[in-house]
Amino acid sequence: MNKTAEQYWKANIRLVGILLAIWFICSFLFGIILVEPLNTIKIGGVGLGFWFAQNGSIYTFLVLIYVYAKRMNALDVEFDVHED
Amino acid sequence: MDLQTLTYIVVGATFALYIGIAFWARAGTTGEFYAAGRGVHPVANGMATAADWMSAASFISMAGLIAFNGYGASVFLMGWTGGYVLLALLLAPYLRKFGKFTVPEFIGDRYYSRTARIVAVICLIIASITYVIGQMKGIGVAFSRFLETEYDTGLYIGMGIVFIYAVLGGMKGITYTQIAQYCVLIFAYTVPAIFISLNITGNPIPQLGIGSTMADGSGTYMMDRLDQVVTDLGFTQYTTQVMGSKLNMFVYTLSLMIGTAGLPHVIIRFFTVPKVKDARSSAGWALVFIAILYTTAPAVGSMARLNLMNTIQTGEVGSAEGNIEIAKVPQWMTNWQKTGLLTWEDKNGDGRIQYYNDKNADFAAKAESYGWKGNEMTKVDRDIMVLANPEIANLPNWVIALVVAGGLAAALSTAAGLLLAISSSISHDLLKGVFMPDISEKAELLAGRIAMAGAIALAGYFGLHPPDFAAGTVAIAFGLAASSIFPVLMMGIFYKKMNRAGAIWGMISGIGVTMLYVFQHKGIMFIPGTSFLGDLGPNWFLGISPNAFGAIGAIVNFAVAIAVSKVTAPPPDHIQHLVEDIRVPKGAAGAIDH
């Protein structure tokens, strides 16, 4: 693997790592592990932990994929590995 | 016009549409049969993927499980959407770059082994058939209600329709049909949800309805009201009810997420987009279309529960006139009674129905003082809730007819996609790829269609006695995919040193552990009475339910694969180059070639 390809892969792994950390936080951490403390915060009669588990995590997932696609497409161009 | 006639018209019209499209876009070559010629736009592909993905489990079953499990059913909501993040970030772009038709093809090439390919095919077939059993349950429920027959009869008719439908067209037909199906099913799901949300809270957006106050002017929040109504009858509080334990919920969610990223009929979608770039955004588009239904489902479930409780408990709990008279039950209850999926029995002979939690010891004294002799709603099949929902809420007949059509669209589109994955596994991966390389295109297509017919018959047979509700059965299928396919795909891309022996033993041990656990609690091949450990919480390992065990299987898979690869020969150089090559988008094969 040449130098550029290696750097490209490292940048990719970093991006994926950050996004997966957020993925874990909004679903497993907020929706399951910390659900009771978060449920003490209520918005419109719905506990925040409950909301993350049933709605909030899904919205976050959408943003994550959007950011990933946008950042990766930019990385492709930056490292000149994009398709023609 | 009466409901029955209207339902026939709506269902008939949507079917004519699907079959018309399938016929118009009939697959001519094997390439088109499997992958729609790689010319599908990401938005169209996302919509078709969403239809493919959202099956009877999502449409018919999930909101019913939410209704009765409350917060606990969040595992389905997070699990079946979060998997798309894994799919988009870890698999889709690389598999598109690799550029073959099927998942076993990738595994066979990446692990330079026919054995690995055969093992992958077998794992896929096991997971896919289990998945189709779940669809058959949903189809059986929908048809039995629609034709007002028993569940078994509904199931047989459904099998016939799936057969005609899936065997006729291949992927290309299916892609366009699935776009039509998506439109029907999302319309059918959201319209009643909007009506019901308006009725209960006055807010037309269901996602906001669950955070609004009741429209009765009491100023009480809808969720607070629901919690109160269910706890008054001895049920567990809706918003805090856990499924098993928190550990079980964690593992369950994880299992569904990695299962999503390991199921062949979804992954195959990302082989059909023109570019690597499109594979990334396709997963996003698919999730957008899925999220519309998934964020509506919590409202559908909670409001259905509230309506159901209020239908039966019409007045104050414990008062003599507080419960509905059997002679005056609404039409929807007698309709569903015919299917055998909703039953009641007047245990205390007062001519009224009491619906409460008779397993709750704290509530027993109260129930006794009211003169109640046990819960009289003897069977409320969770899978009827979404279909019954518009009837419970007294919505117009055309909405009810539409929901039946939507449920059938969801079940049929997924069943067709899965059957296609099963048939391509057998005809393309096993026959052409391994046993009969010289097979003609025509013979390959024929073999694929025979495989489909066989799979339908098998799934229908198990559908007569499904291991769980539709969503539960589908969850088992996800567990099987999670424990076998996802780990080897991921390591194939991210761990260059993963080798043939590691992958093969990883898959075998992962799916083996999961199947053993499922069978020991659910019966061998799901046959009731053959389970050697009962399907009860106390028998479960760390309280993890069989439906959730796929995540443990996946961990076993990773561990065994890595351990075996450390003590066996590393993959040859050309494979390591192949891995380096799929990591960069440049040089991906064009859109139509194959």
Taking only the tens place, the pLDDT of each residue in B234-260 is 899 999 888 888 899 999 999 999 998
- The chain B residue lying nearest A9, using CA atoms, is B583
Interface test with A, best of B54, B66, B78, B87 (most A CBs within 10 A): B78
Q: Tell me how far CA of residue B226 lies from CA of A50, B43, B231, B305, in angstroms.
A: 14, 38, 9, 8
Tally A–B CB contacts below 8 A: 138
**How is residue B370 written in tokens?**
């009211």
Specify the pLDDT at position B398: 86
- Is residue B405 within 8 A of residue B188, CB to CB? The reply is yes
Q: Do B210 and A68 touch (CB under 8 A)?
A: no
Interface test with A, best of B62, B71, B91, B253 (most A CBs within 10 A): B71
Q: Do A57 and B81 touch (CB under 8 A)?
A: yes
Indicate the range of A34-48, B111-125, B451-465 predicted with least confidence: B451-465
Q: Per-residue pLDDT averaged across A14-24, rounded?
A: 96
- DSSP single-letter state for residue B429: I
**How is residue A11 written in tokens?**
């940048």
Interface test with B, best of A12, A58, A71, A72 (most B CBs within 10 A): A58
Find all residues with CB under 8 Å of B292, minimum gap 6, and list them: B186, B190
Find all residues with CB under 8 Å of B121, minimum gap 6, and list them: B104, B425, B426, B429, B430
A43 three-class SS:
strand
* Chain A CB contacts of B71 below 8 Å: 35, 50, 53-54
Interface test with A, best of B74, B201, B260, B576 (most A CBs within 10 A): B74
B-contacting residues in A 20-49 (Cβ below 8 Å): 20, 23, 27-28, 31-33, 35-36, 39, 43-47
Taking only the tens place, the pLDDT of each residue in B411-456 is 877 887 788 778 888 887 788 877 877 878 788 888 888 888 888 8
Q: Tell me the ipTM for this assembly.
A: 0.94
Q: Do B291 and A62 touch (CB under 8 A)?
A: yes
- How far off is chain B from A67, nearest CA to CA, in Å? 10
Is it the case that residue A54 has pLDDT exceeding 50?
Answer: yes
Find all residues with CB under 8 Å of B196, minimum gap 6, and list them: B206, B299, B300, B303, B304, B307, B389, B390, B393, B395
Taking only the tens place, the pLDDT of each residue in B285-342 is 999 999 999 999 999 999 999 999 998 898 888 888 889 999 888 888 888 888 888 9
Mean pLDDT for chain B overall: 85
Q: Do B221 and A83 touch (CB under 8 A)?
A: no
Specify the pLDDT at position B82: 94
Specify the pLDDT at position B482: 94
Please indicate if any CB of chain B lies within 8 Å of the CB of A7.
no
- The chain A residue lying nearest B494, using CA atoms, is A13
Specify the pLDDT at position B590: 53
Q: Which of A36, A57, A68 sits opposite B89 (nearest CB)?
A: A68
Q: Per-residue pLDDT averaged across B193-210, rounded?
A: 91
* Chain B CB contacts of A82 below 8 Å: 277, 585-586
- Between B158 and B24, residue with greater pLDDT: B158
Taking only the tens place, the pLDDT of each residue in B71-99 is 999 999 999 999 999 999 999 889 888 87
Q: How many residues does chain A have?
A: 84
* B195-234 b/e (C-beta count within 10 Å ≥ 16 → b): bbbeebbebebbbebbbbbbeeeeeebbbbbbbebbebbb
- The chain B residue lying nearest A4, using CA atoms, is B584
Taking only the tens place, the pLDDT of each residue in B43-68 is 888 888 888 888 888 888 889 999 99
Alpha-carbon span B211 to B201, nearest angstrom: 9
Is it the case that residue B523 has pLDDT exceeding 70?
Answer: no
Specify the pLDDT at position B413: 76
Specify the pLDDT at position B558: 95
Alpha-carbon span B382 to B341, nearest angstrom: 9
Please indicate if any CB of chain B lies within 8 Å of the CB of A66.
yes
B381 three-class SS:
coil
B373 three-class SS:
coil
Specify the pLDDT at position B564: 96
Is it the case that residue B594 has pLDDT exceeding 50?
Answer: no
Q: Which of B207, B211, B284 sits opposite A65 (nearest CB)?
A: B284
Q: Do A58 and B78 touch (CB under 8 A)?
A: yes
Concatenate the DSSP letters of all residues of B452-505 into one string: HHHHHHHHHHHHTS-SSSHHHHHHHHHHHHHHHHHHHHHHHHH-TT--HHHHHH
Q: What is the pTM of this model?
A: 0.89
The percent helix, strand, coil of chain B (3-state, each to 5) is 75, 0, 25
Pick from B213, B203, B129, B138: nearest CA to B526: B129
Mean pLDDT for chain A overall: 90
Q: How many residues does chain B have?
A: 594
pLDDT more than 70, % of chain B:
91
